[in-house]
Structure 1
Amino acid sequence: MSQSCSIEKCSRTSRWLCDCCEQYLCLQHLNEHNVSLISQLNPLTDEINALGDRLETLSIHDAIANCRQKLEDWREDCHQKIDCLFEQKCQELDQLVNEIVGPHREELNQINLKITEFIDAQETTRQDIELLRSTIRQLERNMNNIEEACFTINTRPLVTDDTLISIEKVTEHELDLSTLSPVYKTIHRPQGSFRPFTCNDEYLLIHQEPNLCLYDRKMNIVEQTLWPCGAIQDMCWSSTLEKFIVLGKNNIFLVDEHTMSIDNVYTIKERQWLSCTCSDTVLFACTNGRASSIMEFTLFPAIELIREWKHPLTCSKDEFIVSTVYNNGNLALMIVNVLNKSLRLELKYAKTFDSVWLFQFNINWVQKLAFRCCSLPGNEWLVVDYESGRLIQISRDGKVKKTIQYHPTPCRAMLFDTNILAISTTDEINLHTIH
């Protein structure tokens, strides 16, 4: 028995069973169905053409600019280290020459003075002359020995291989703020403790009045030292120096993670510091007050000022920068306007201070405290909103990705290890896991 067409209101006899939709179709509806399927190929062709055009215009240089810059920074750093070693060895050579030649030069001067005395006095003896001749002959033999021996410089070739630089494709796992766990560890801080804290791959550096304390991953104190240097404005870690950088009101200190020694390496006059951050090669330190400047320092071989970035490149004359965070070639700046009490996050290229994007928050600056942010994997950012008691996750393109309430009121945040988020409140630091 013949099968009717499956299309509603069609009484024709089916001619074909369509494999894709499993319907019995008459000749007319079979043709219409085929035309419909063919027509869906045209938009796909358009999409493929658009992707092809995009591939042709894609700037590979822009995509790998940060990676190339890291290679360039590494090369410059190696050159600086070689130059520093060269200067050190030149100084050692000069010192060695002076140690050998200096006594003979002094002896020559003494002989010359003695001869001058005899000539001025117009009186001498044969014994004096013979003694002078003997001394001169001995000095001459000593100089011959010096010239013959000279100096020996032993050098070894600078060994380089592919293991010095590794290039790998890395896919960063973006964190989801909604996965923030309950507090699993709390570090209490006594009254008078300064709120800034920072970390490296192994340790968390915290001020607990009256000490600077170094905590390990299990939150045990491994080192501590008395902090006698006044208020702490901010902290960061330098992987290049393998030391913590602590910002006082007017001074920059280096703290050794092994000995906890404290060295004052730079002092600013007339102005004060507020925040700091560093890349592999430079330190960025921001001044406190309207029309904030960002001072850029070399890290190696010494902390030395390179340049000062001023307004309006940094911010306007009625704004000041309350937080600076470096990540992957960019600087994230938390900027407050003192006239309209507004707050924005602006991402700038660290090399030129050109703006990448900015995000204007719907937050009023009332409590006159510094808003802080930290970097997250995938070039994302976490902003601490103490005014509303919130944590705000900002995507890599400058949009709000996630917002959660946090109690007690958060002041600062820092990603410790790959999935541990440390959040500072007024009296304590809470540790959470985040995925």
Structure 2
Amino acid sequence: MSQLCSINKCTRVSRGLCDCCQQNICLQHLNEHNALLISQLNPLTDDINALGYRLQTFSIQKTNHNGREKLEQWRQDCYKKIDYLFEQKCQELDHTVNEQVSKQREELDRIHLKITELINAQEATRQDIDLLRSTLHQLQENMNEIEQTCFTINTRPLLIDDTFILIKKTPEHELDLSTLSPVDRTIHRPEGSFRSFTGNDRHLLIHQHPNLCLLDREMNVVKQTFWLYDLGNVGVQHADQIACVDNLILTQNKINIYLNTYAYWQIIDILNELENDVRIRLIFLLQKC
């Protein structure tokens, strides 16, 4: 005996297994189910077209804008460091020659003054003339050496490591702390230590109650001095610069120093006298909260 259609109240004979509902149904219901499936293709086509348009109008430059800005800032910072070292060495080179020239000029002025005095006095001895000639000859020899001065400049190639810049996709407006590198150093700070600090390529300046401490790259205290001032109440004198300070993340009573991470800080400048009457320019970075 033939099997009836599985659709409720349908008395027609089933003609096959429907791929959609996995039931044995009649030819009419098979056609209806097939038409229902076909009707769902048009919305899918619309969705595909919409995605295609979004892909066509997608701007890589706009998406990568912030990332490119950070890379450009890194490049400019590197250029500044190179330019600073270049200018420093140029000044050192000029200073070496200027020092010799200044000594030569002082001696020449002295001899010229001596000759002028002898001429004005209309009186000179053979010893005066011999001494002047000897001194002038020595100055000529010195000038020859100055004019022929040459320097040996030993330079080393600037090695750029690809790991200086690490790129990893993270959700927008979200900082994934699990992507941070392992802790490189940990500084334990006493209660009462202020959060303000600053650093450069060689040193880190922090407040470890009750002292202001200068640390080297190994986090050893190089120098410290007793500090009476409340860094939390320091007046802002220069807040129009934003510094990108890498490798520093604050916790409650210690600073965990990570590699290849960035935090934004506001720069303020203060001047104060430390021990030995040495005037040092301190740049404190206050965390933007």
Cα 1:76–1:93 shift into 2, 3 Å: same
1:84 maps to 2:49? no
Matched with 2:93 is 93
Q: TM-score, normalised by structure 2?
A: 0.67
Residues in 1 aligned to 2:144 and 2:120: alpha-carbon distance in whole angstroms = 31
Shift of residue 62 of structure 1? Answer: 2.2
Matched with 1:202 is 185
5 Å-filtered alignment, 1:289-300, equals none
Shift of residue 31 of structure 1? Answer: 0.4
Q: Secondary structure at the match of 1:203?
A: strand
Cα 1:254–1:164 shift into 2, 3 Å: farther
5 Å-filtered alignment, 1:307-346, equals 325=288
Cα 1:131–1:296 shift into 2, 3 Å: closer
Q: Deviations over 1:71-93 (max 9, x none)?
A: 11121112111111111112211
Equivalent of residue 279 in structure 1, options 244, 249, 256: 244
Matched with 1:151 is 150
Percent identity of equivalent pairs: 47
Matched with 2:204 is 243
Matched with 2:221 is 259
Matched with 1:170 is 169
Q: Deviations over 1:55-74 (max 9, x none)?
A: 22322222111211121112
Cα 1:254–1:172 shift into 2, 3 Å: farther
Which structure dedicates a bigger proportion of its chain to helix?
Answer: 2
Residues in 1 aligned to 2:175 and 2:80: alpha-carbon distance in whole angstroms = 37
Matched with 2:110 is 110
Matched with 1:221 is none
Cα 1:303–1:78 shift into 2, 3 Å: farther
Residues in 1 aligned to 2:70 and 2:213: alpha-carbon distance in whole angstroms = 24
5 Å-filtered alignment, 1:357-376, equals none
1:66 maps to 2:66? yes
Residue type matched to 1:119 in 2? Answer: I
Structure 1's unaligned 5+ residue stretches are 177-199, 213-231, 247-252, 286-294, 306-322, 326-332, 334-435
Shift of residue 112 of structure 1? Answer: 1.4
Which structure dedicates a bigger proportion of its chain to strand?
Answer: 1
Runs of 4+ with deviation above 4 angstroms: 164-167, 171-176, 236-242, 260-264, 302-305
Please say if residues 3 and 13 of structure 1, whose CA atoms lie closer than 8 Å, have aligned partners that are also in contact: yes
Residue type matched to 1:235 in 2? Answer: S
Cα 1:134–1:204 shift into 2, 3 Å: closer
Q: Deviations over 1:216-252 (max 9, x none)?
A: xxxxxxxxxxxxxxxx4x4367686763566xxxxxx
Cα 1:32–1:52 shift into 2, 3 Å: same
Residues in 2 aligned to 1:241 and 1:65: alpha-carbon distance in whole angstroms = 31
Please say if residues 283 and 296 of structure 1, whose CA atoms lie closer than 8 Å, have aligned partners that are also in contact: no
Q: Secondary structure at the match of 2:221?
A: coil
Bigger Rg over Cα:
2
Residues in 2 aligned to 1:80 and 1:118: alpha-carbon distance in whole angstroms = 56
Cα 1:32–1:204 shift into 2, 3 Å: farther
Residues in 2 aligned to 1:239 and 1:95: alpha-carbon distance in whole angstroms = 26
Matched with 1:53 is 53
Q: Secondary structure at the match of 1:279?
A: strand
Residue type matched to 2:24 in 1? Answer: Y
Cα 1:272–1:205 shift into 2, 3 Å: farther
Shift of residue 35 of structure 1? Answer: 0.7
Q: Deviations over 1:230-289 (max 9, x none)?
A: xx4x4367686763566xxxxxx885343274699xxx9x9835xx9852487415xxxx
Matched with 2:277 is none
Residue type matched to 1:279 in 2? Answer: C
Q: Secondary structure at the match of 2:127?
A: helix
Residues in 2 aligned to 1:237 and 1:116: alpha-carbon distance in whole angstroms = 59
Structure 2's unaligned 5+ residue stretches are 177-182, 247-263, 271-280
Q: TM-score, normalised by structure 1?
A: 0.46
Cα 1:169–1:92 shift into 2, 3 Å: same
Shift of residue 43 of structure 1? Answer: 2.0
Please say if residues 284 and 296 of structure 1, whose CA atoms lie closer than 8 Å, have aligned partners that are also in contact: no
Shift of residue 29 of structure 1? Answer: 0.5
Please say if residues 18 and 25 of structure 1, whose CA atoms lie closer than 8 Å, have aligned partners that are also in contact: yes
Structural RMSD (CA): 4.0
Q: Secondary structure at the match of 1:208?
A: coil
Please say if residues 240 and 280 of structure 1, whose CA atoms lie closer than 8 Å, have aligned partners that are also in contact: no
5 Å-filtered alignment, 1:300-311, equals none
Q: Deviations over 1:135-169 (max 9, x none)?
A: 21222122223323x12142436445562654544
Please say if residues 20 and 33 of structure 2, whose CA atoms lie closer than 8 Å, have aligned partners that are also in contact: no
Cα 1:102–1:127 shift into 2, 3 Å: same
Residues in 2 aligned to 1:36 and 1:19: alpha-carbon distance in whole angstroms = 12
Q: Secondary structure at the match of 2:266?
A: strand
Residues in 1 aligned to 2:186 and 2:105: alpha-carbon distance in whole angstroms = 56
Residue type matched to 1:113 in 2? Answer: L
